[in-house]
Structures are given as C-alpha cells and as structure tokens.
Amino acid sequence: MAIPVRRRPLDPGIRLTIRGRTVRLRALRRPPSGLLWLLSILGPGLVAANAGNDAGGIATYASAGAKYGYDLLWVILIITLSLAVVQEMAARLGAATGRGLLDLVRERFGIGWALFAVAVVLLANMSVTVTEFLGIRAALELFGISPWVSVPLAAAGLWWLVVRGSYRPVEKVFVAMTLVFLAYPAAAVLAHPDWGEVARRTVLPTVHGDSDFLLLLVATVGTTVSAYQPLFQQSAVVERRSLGRYYGPERWDVYVGAAFSQLVAWFIIVATAATLHLAGATDINTAGEAAEALAPVAGQYARVLFAVGILGASLLAGAVLPLATAYSVSEAFGFRKGVNLDFRRAPIFVGLFTVLLVFGALVALFPGLPVWALLIAIQVLNGLLLPVVLVFLILLLNDRRLVGDLANGHVSNLLAWLTAIVLAVLSALLLGSSALQAAGLNLFGASG
C-alpha cells in the first residue's frame, strides 16, 4: 500500500506572459536583518582596518604595553576615530565614482602626482610585505616549523587563494581570517589584568616626558593608519560594485572594521601590560619576542594565542598589501585589474601581485636580515605618502561634480582636515626621529 507523501506547495509567485510564453517569478526572500545583516555587509572595511594589525603593529602595541603598562590605552580611542574617518572617505569616494584613488589622481592632478604615489607605494609595500613574511616565519618557528617550509607554503597558499579565486569568495576568506584576532582578547583575560585600572587609564590620558614614550606614542598612531589601507579600501569597494545609492552598508562596514581592529590593539596592550610590564620584561622589539616572553609569565596558552594571532595577522596583511599595490599601479596606468581576472586578461595586475609575494617570501628566508633598517625605510616612505593620500581624498570628496550627494559636508571636512593635519605632524615626527636615530641622535632629548 502506497503511503501518500505530503509535498510542500511551490510558491506560485507572479506569472507573466510575454509573447505567448508564460514566465513565473518567484517571490524574493526577505533580506537579513539585525546581526545577520551586519555580518552580510562586512568586507573591505573590516579587512583593510585589521590588515593594519600586522606583525609590525602587534610588535608596537606589545612594546607599548610592556614598557609603559596601561598608560597608552587612551591613545586607542583617538586612533579609532582617525582610522574611521580616513577609511570612510576612501570607501565613499569609491562608491561615488566607481574608480580607484590613483585613477582619479592621474585624471584630476596629472601623471606626475600619480607616478610619485606609484613609486612610493611600490617601495613601501614591497618592504612591508617582507615584514609580513617575517611575521609568518616567526609565528611558526614558535611551533617548531622550519621557515623553509612555512614561508614558501604561505606564499603559495596566498597566491592560489587570490589568483585562482574570484572576488566574493576571496573577500569571505579575508573576513574569516580576521576571526583569528579574537586570540588577543583571550590572551588578555588569561593575563588577569586589573580591569578597574584598565578602564581608568583608557579614558584618562597619561603622558610621560621621556623620548621613548613620545616615540611609542607616535609609532602607535603611525602603525594604525597606513597609506595602503585607504588605497585597498577604495579599490575593494569598487570591485565589490558598491554604487553610490547603496553606500549605507559600506559605511557600517568601515565603522565596524575600525572599532574591531582597535579593540584588538587595546587588548594587546592590556595583555602585555598585565604580564610583561609587571614582570619587568620591557625590552620587546618584535611580535615573536612578545609571544616568547609571555610563556614564563602568563603560561603556554597565552604564548600560543599570541603566536596564532601573529600568524593570522601576517597572512591577512601578506595578501592585502600586494593586492593594494597591484590595484594602485594598475589604476595609475589604466591597466585592467581585479581578483576576478586571470593573468591573460590582467597580466600587470596578476603579475605584480605574484612578484610582490615571491619577493617578500624570498627576502624573509635570508637570515640576518637588517630588520631595523627596513622598518626605518618603511616609516620614511609611509610618512611621505600618507599625508598626500589624505589630501587627495579630501580634495576629491569636495568636488560635487565628481561625487554628487556623497561629497564632504562641513563636519566631515573638519574631521578630515583635523585628521590629516594630526597624522601629517605625527608622520613628520616619526620621520624625523627615525632619521636622527639612524644618525645616532635623539629628536626628543635624553630618555628618562
């Protein structure tokens, strides 16, 4: 005896008859709301902001916590606002024009400025890409994995992900990679900080008069807002095809990304302040040294969490930096670009991305690399480019013929120019201190 099976009736939708042919249009599903909506819009803003928490950024935050405890936590609040302002402008310009920044710079300000930006982007990002592979090497060496295995595998994996993938899946992988930063809140909890003191130092500024404190303050701000972040942000928004009339979700993506990335930085300072600072381990120069120093103080779990964070951060930035560079160079010269394109259709874009990965991996494999000289070069180049990028963003976003209703208003201009001036001054201080330190002098006088 056959048992009747109840079938779910099909949604009749809407029937249209066109030239004697009937077509059924199904009813659209309800769009996500609440948390699901927020998760669905996360993309370039979250990725670009968190790429700034790379191995160099982690080393800077760890050094701040180890040397001065909770005294630099208040800086994170200011950095969050600056980062959000810069990234939001880049996203808005991309959504309004459908074009990358250097494409617009070449058209509006001439090929000379575009060539200057390309030269600095290439040199700076090549150097930073090397430091990302150094971060991958250091993180996996903590687990006993040889750099001759870890570095080539990492480079090959990142190349395959980007070159063989398409934009949306690659973006989702990048977003998923940001989850590794949750290791730092866990490390902070394991450190058992005085949360009352943490809260007080976060809202009440503490300033020391010695040169080391001023240098760390400048470096903490400078390592957070880098020139490649707005370049990648704008290019990724364009590739995501976020048109101006749909710009609202992109703004939320930027704000969530800035808040999350700086919350991670805040937890790194808390974790190292509660452990390394109290233990007197203040001489921290790299992220790997911070992870090693945590083991005898906070235990192996804290060390492992810190190392996992370094690995994830370096992998994310190791992909984003070459991508931002390939986008920028292709835009400046009008070459075809995009993760959706293969080498045959976008040879310059794919070729440059590949060369940067290979260069970063090869240089990171050589022992005895002069990392300090490399970091000084990065600071100098980024200090040259960042103020220029910010001024270009502001000028372009005040051209209503170009961006229409998405132009800067009075409040946006005030915040933007204030951010540009502060970051320019801090970049100049970092430039000056790096140059003088290389010459054996000190910009701020003797340290106390």
Which one-letter DSSP state was computed for residue 340?
Answer: T
Query: Which tens digit of pLDDT belongs to each residue from 83-139?
Result: 999 999 999 999 899 888 999 999 988 888 888 888 878 877 887 888 889 889 888
Tokens representing 88?
A: 């939001």
Distance CA 62, CA 133 (A): 19
Q: How far is CA 338 from CA 95, 165, 331, 429, in A?
A: 16, 11, 11, 36
Burial (0-12, 13-18, 19+ Cβ within 10 Å), 445: exposed
All structural domains of the chain, each given as residue ranges with its CATH number in brackets, are 37-438 (1.20.1740.10)
Alpha carbons within 13 angstroms on the beta-carbon side of residue 274 total 25
The three-point CA angle 410-413-417 to 5° equals 145
SS3 of 65-83: the string is: HHHHCCCCHHHHHHHHHHH
The pLDDT, as a whole number, for residue 123 is 78
Work out the end-to-end distance of the chain between its first and last CA atoms, rounded to an integer number of angstroms.
93
Gap between the Cα atoms of 88 and 92, Å rounded: 6
DSSP-assigned beta bridge partners for residue 17: 22
Strand-pair partners of 395: none
CA 220-291-132 angle, 5° bins: 60
Q: Is the pTM of this model over 0.75?
A: yes
Look at residue 166 in the predicted model and tell me its pLDDT.
78
* pLDDT tens track, the chain, 448 positions: 455 544 444 444 455 555 556 655 554 455 555 555 556 667 788 888 888 888 778 888 888 898 899 999 999 988 898 899 999 999 999 989 988 899 999 998 888 888 888 887 887 788 788 888 988 988 888 888 999 999 999 999 999 998 887 777 888 888 888 888 888 888 888 888 999 999 999 999 888 877 778 778 877 877 788 888 888 888 888 888 766 656 777 888 899 999 999 999 999 999 888 888 887 766 776 667 777 767 665 667 777 887 888 888 889 888 888 998 999 899 888 898 888 888 888 899 999 999 999 999 998 888 665 554 555 556 556 666 778 888 999 999 999 999 888 888 888 899 889 888 887 787 777 667 666 666 665 555 544 4
Q: What is the pLDDT of residue 393?
A: 92
Closest CA to 331 of 93, 129, 104: 104
* Distance from C-alpha of 309 to C-alpha of 87, rounded to nearest angstrom: 23
Give the model confidence (pLDDT) of 69-96 as tens digits. 999 999 998 889 889 999 999 999 998 9
Distance between CA atoms of residues 301 and 187, nearest Å: 8
* CB within 8 Å of 377: residues ≥ 6 apart: 123, 124, 127
